[in-house]
Each structure stands twice: as structure tokens, then as C-alpha cells.
């Protein structure tokens, strides 16, 4: 397996790297350290630049106006896009765009007109509503939100938790149980408008993630037309599972990018910082931290690119995506922690991005499926039927 970059990949990665370092990083100097958005005028200007570069809407298929880039190239770009202060939870502050809800590409033509195309134009926002308080780590069996058919409608009762962006969304994908006897084969995905009677945002849930937060939702006799079923009835979990598996690759790539940037800052700092008459870079303890950083970054990068490569070639990649997510989130956390230690007291101040990365990296070991679940996925793959 050869991951040497092609000339086109070298060019694209170089473009993204220059864009982030010349356009994004300088703007962050004047922002609150926990900011997750740019000034409107700056974001508008930068979106126009990425569109002119042909790099806007990375996860949008070419037939819908997105760039024709394979997943390996997009993964390499995601690594570069995250190398700034807000790199984990605001990748370039949205200036590279994205579909937001990739499942909508499988929608009916009428659903695309009402939800997909307005989302691509930036006119609507959506949310992904899967997790419930009954057990987010096993969503297929934990879903207790129920949908019951009533004529041309479905009546939905239940709730969701830890849902990002629902309070600002126009619609969302809500997964509800439509057949209580079929486990993961009894879940259906519904497109739900947030102004539907019976849809409530119960509360905002503040987390470690800097300025980011989640929401808790409640559904009370919420009526959704049958025309808003996404895909087939009782086949909703397949939609969710595909999203969760594929999303783990860019999720891992973001952690790698932050680790690379943290390591870069440390490499610049330790030769300049003196203790007891000698630079920190001469201390074996520091040298070994830097070596461990290099190993963690290399290992996570190769495993993530392997997952992307298998997905690009149409091969099964569920295990590889789980391994990439597991390794990159844990390795990235270690790298940031070491760099914070090398900076000493400065490392825990908001003068540097380490403390923000430290907090945001922590939740990455939970998001997109906790790392314990990733280990279960990997174990199930290598043990097969003996684990069932």
C-alpha cells in the first residue's frame, strides 16, 4: 500500500495549508479563544475564496456541485484544515462548506427540493437526531422514541439528547422505533421540521467543548407526514450506521491535524526556552516526549489513511474506521497533553491553544461512538461468530 501523494494531492494539500495559515490563523488572533465563528464579513469573503479554489463543499457529490475528490484526498485536506485554534469543532469555520447531512443525497426528489437543495445553498440547517438518554453507545437497541402510523401521518413520542445544533436548525433527521420486535431492523428515519407542533427543545446542555453545546429534545404527539420518511420504513438504522462509520474517518483526521499543530508549536518552543542554563531541547525527558509525539502522529495518520483508502476502493472498512477513530483520538489527546506540559505554566493559559484542544480532545474519545464501543466493533470483527 503506497500513500505517496500524487502531484494533484500535493497541490491541493499545499493550497489548503496556505489558506489555513495565511487566511484563518491571523483572524483568530483577534477572536475570543473559545470562539467558534468568524465575523460574518470574514466568513463570506473566505467562502468566496474557497469556491474560487474549487474546494468548497468537500462532502458534496460532484453531481450536486461538489468537487470530485476521493476520500483519501479529503482526509489529507481534513488534516490540514484542523491546524488552527478552532480546528476540532469549527473546521475552518465552515468556509470549506459541506453537505451537513449526507443522508439527504438518498432522499426522494420531493425531499431533495424541500430539504437538500436549500441546505446546499445555505438557506436551511439540519440536525442529526439519533442519541437517547437510554443508552447512546448502542443506539439501535437503545432507541425508545416511538413512531406509530396514523393514516398518512406518523405520530412520534419520545426524545433525544446530546444533539448538536437543533436549537438553530430548520429540520432534522429523527430516528424512531416503528417495530418494537425487530431491534435494529425496526427503526425508521424521519425528516422533521422544527416548527412542527409537538417538537420541543427542552434545554441547552453545556459541555467541555469551549463555546459548543448540545441540546435535549422532546417529542409529544408530533405528527410527521409519511412523505417525510427517509429511505424505507424499518431501515433507518442502516442510514445511521453508514453515517457513523464513514464520519469516523474525517473525525480522526481532525485529531491528527491538531496533534500536528501542537507538536509544531512545541518544536519551535523547546529550543528557545532555557532551564538551568540550557535549552529544553537538550533535556532527555523533553526529547522523549517529542519522539512519542512523532510516533503517535505517524501511527494515527497511516491508520486513518488506510481506512480512507479502503472506503475509496469500495472495500469493507468498518473495522479500519473504528481503529482510526480509536487510535487518533487517544494519540491526539496524548500529544496535546505532552505539549501542554512542555510549555509549563504558559501551556494552561489562553495565550496558547493547548487548553482548548485539551478540553475538546477529551470529548473526541466519546463522540462518534465511545472508544470502548470502537474496541467492541474491532473485537467483533476479528472474533466473528464466537463473540455473538
Burial 211-236 (b: 16+ CB within 10 A, else e): ebbbbbbbbeebebeeebbbeebbbb
Is 87 part of a structural domain of the chain? Answer: yes
Q: What is the CATH number of the domain that holds 199?
A: 2.40.110.10
Looking at the fold, whether 210 and 71 belong to one and the same domain comes out as: no
- 138-146 average pLDDT score: 79
Looking at the fold, whether 319 and 378 belong to one and the same domain comes out as: yes
CA distance 60 to 68: 9
Query: pLDDT confidence of 36, banded at 50, 70, 90?
Result: confident
| pTM above threshold 0.85 | yes
Distance of CA 109 to the CA centre of its chain: 27
Q: What is the CATH number of the domain that holds 18?
A: 1.10.540.10
Domain stops at, among 203, 230, 257:
230
Looking at the fold, whether 257 and 347 belong to one and the same domain comes out as: yes
Helix (H, G, I), strand (E, B) or coil at 372: helix
Burial 292-331 (b: 16+ CB within 10 A, else e): ebeebbeebbebbbbbbbbbeeeeebbbbbbbbbbbbbbb
Strand partners, 159: 218
Looking at the fold, whether 67 and 132 belong to one and the same domain comes out as: no
Strand partners, 148: 155
Is 117 part of a structural domain of the chain? Answer: no
The answer to whether 219 and 198 have CB atoms below 8 angstroms apart is yes
Is 118 part of a structural domain of the chain? Answer: no
CA distance 360 to 258: 10
Range of the domain at 194: 126-230
Stronger pLDDT, 203 or 212, i.e. the higher one? 203
Sort 19 into a burial class: Cβ within 10 Å, 0-12 / 13-18 / 19+.
Answer: buried
Domain stops at, among 230, 254, 272:
230
Distance of CA 113 to the CA centre of its chain: 26
CA distance 115 to 165: 16
Query: Does the structure show a pLDDT above 60 at 244?
Result: yes
Looking at the fold, whether 249 and 367 belong to one and the same domain comes out as: yes
Q: What local confidence, expressed as pLDDT, does residue 139 receive?
A: 63
Looking at the fold, whether 283 and 302 belong to one and the same domain comes out as: yes
Is 112 part of a structural domain of the chain? Answer: no
Is 116 part of a structural domain of the chain? Answer: no
The answer to whether 183 and 140 have CB atoms below 8 angstroms apart is yes
Is 58 part of a structural domain of the chain? Answer: yes
Q: What is the CATH number of the domain that holds 262?
A: 1.20.140.10
Q: What local confidence, expressed as pLDDT, does residue 137 receive?
A: 59
**Per-residue pLDDT tens for 275-323?**
899 999 999 999 999 999 999 999 999 999 999 999 999 999 999 999 9
Contacts of 36 (CB under 8 A, 6+ apart): 86, 89, 90, 93, 210, 211, 212
Contacts of 4 (CB under 8 A, 6+ apart): none
CA distance 379 to 388: 11
Chain length of the chain: 388
The answer to whether 131 and 137 have CB atoms below 8 angstroms apart is no
Contacts of 224 (CB under 8 A, 6+ apart): 147, 153, 154, 156, 174, 190, 191, 192, 196
Looking at the fold, whether 380 and 257 belong to one and the same domain comes out as: yes
Is 344 part of a structural domain of the chain? Answer: yes
CA distance 52 to 347: 38
Query: pLDDT confidence of 92, banded at 50, 70, 90?
Result: confident
Beta-sheet pairing, 187-193 with 229-230: antiparallel
**Per-residue pLDDT tens for 245-260?**
888 999 999 999 999 9
- 100-128 average pLDDT score: 89
Looking at the fold, whether 151 and 199 belong to one and the same domain comes out as: yes
Looking at the fold, whether 80 and 13 belong to one and the same domain comes out as: yes
Is 109 part of a structural domain of the chain? Answer: no
Query: pLDDT confidence of 384, banded at 50, 70, 90?
Result: confident
Looking at the fold, whether 248 and 383 belong to one and the same domain comes out as: yes
- Using CA atoms, how far residue 66 sits from 18, 61, 120, 243, 346, in Å, is 21, 5, 10, 18, 42
Domain stops at, among 72, 104, 136:
104
Kindly report the average pLDDT of the chain as a whole number.
91
What is the number of structural domains in the chain? 3
Looking at the fold, whether 90 and 31 belong to one and the same domain comes out as: yes
CA distance 5 to 82: 19
**Of 228, 246, 252, the residue nearest 126 (C-alpha):** 228
Q: Which three cell numbers stand for residue 369?
A: 461512538
Least-confidence region, from 185-199, 241-255, 313-327, 343-357: 241-255
Looking at the fold, whether 381 and 251 belong to one and the same domain comes out as: yes
Catalytic residues: 368
Amino acid at each position: 500500500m503506497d500513500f505517496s501523494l500524487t502531484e494533484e494531492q500535493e497541490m491541493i494539500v499545499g493550497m489548503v495549508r496556505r489558506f489555513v495559515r495565511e487566511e484563518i490563523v491571523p483572524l483568530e488572533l483577534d477572536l475570543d479563544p473559545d470562539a467558534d465563528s468568524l465575523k460574518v464579513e470574514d466568513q463570506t469573503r473566505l467562502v468566496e475564496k474557497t469556491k474560487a479554489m474549487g474546494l468548497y463543499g468537500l462532502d458534496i457529490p460532484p453531481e450536486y456541485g461538489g468537487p470530485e475528490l476521493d476520500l483519501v484526498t479529503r482526509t489529507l485536506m481534513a488534516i490540514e484544515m484542523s491546524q488552527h485554534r478552532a480546528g476540532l469543532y469549527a473546521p475552518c469555520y465552515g468556509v470549506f462548506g459541506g453537505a451537513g447531512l449526507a443522508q439527504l443525497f438518498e432522499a426522494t426528489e420531493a425531499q431533495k427540493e424541500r430539504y437538500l437543495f436549500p441546505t446546499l445553498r445555505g438557506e436551511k440547517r439540519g440536525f442529526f437526531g439519533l442519541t437517547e438518554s437510554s443508552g447512546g453507545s448502542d443506539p439501535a437497541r437503545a432507541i425508545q422514541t416511538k413512531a406509530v402510523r396514523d393514516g398518512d401521518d406518523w405520530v412520534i413520542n419520545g426524545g433525544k439528547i446530546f444533539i448538536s445544533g437543533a436549537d438553530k436548525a430548520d429540520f432534522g433527521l429523527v430516528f424512531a422505533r416503528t417495530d418494537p420486535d425487530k431491534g435494529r431492523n425496526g427503526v425508521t428515519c424521519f425528516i422533521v421540521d422544527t416548527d412542527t407542533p409537538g417538537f420541543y427543545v427542552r434545554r441547552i446542555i453545556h459541555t467541555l467543548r469551549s463555546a459548543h453545546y448540545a441540546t435535549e429534545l422532546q417529542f409529544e404527539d408530533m405528527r410527521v407526514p409519511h412523505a417525510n420518511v427517509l429511505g424505507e420504513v424499518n431501515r433507518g438504522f442502516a442510514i445511521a450506521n453508514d453515517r457513523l462509520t464513514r464520519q469516523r474517518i474525517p473525525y480522526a483526521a481532525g485529531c491528527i491535524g491538531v496533534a500536528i499543530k501542537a507538536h509544531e508549536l512545541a518544536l519551535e518552543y523547546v529550543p528557545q526556552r532555557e532551564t538551568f542554563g540550557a535549552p529544553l531541547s537538550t533535556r532527555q525527558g523533553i526529547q522523549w516526549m517529542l519522539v512519542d509525539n512523532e510516533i503517535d502522529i505517524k501511527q494515527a495518520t497511516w491508520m486513518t489513511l488506510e481506512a480512507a483508502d479502503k472506503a475509496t476502493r469500495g472495500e469493507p472498512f468498518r473495522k479500519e474506521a473504528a481503529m482510526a477513530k480509536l487510535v487518533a483520538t487517544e494519540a491526539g489527546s496524548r500529544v496535546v497533553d505532552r505539549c501542554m506540559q512542555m510549555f509549563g505554566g504558559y501551556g494552561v493559559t489562553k495565550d496558547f491553544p493547548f487548553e482548548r484542544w485539551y478540553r475538546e480532545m477529551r470529548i473526541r474519545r466519546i463522540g462518534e461512538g465511545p472508544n470502548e464501543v470502537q474496541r467492541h466493533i474491532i473485537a467483533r470483527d476479528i472474533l466473528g461468530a464466537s463473540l455473538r
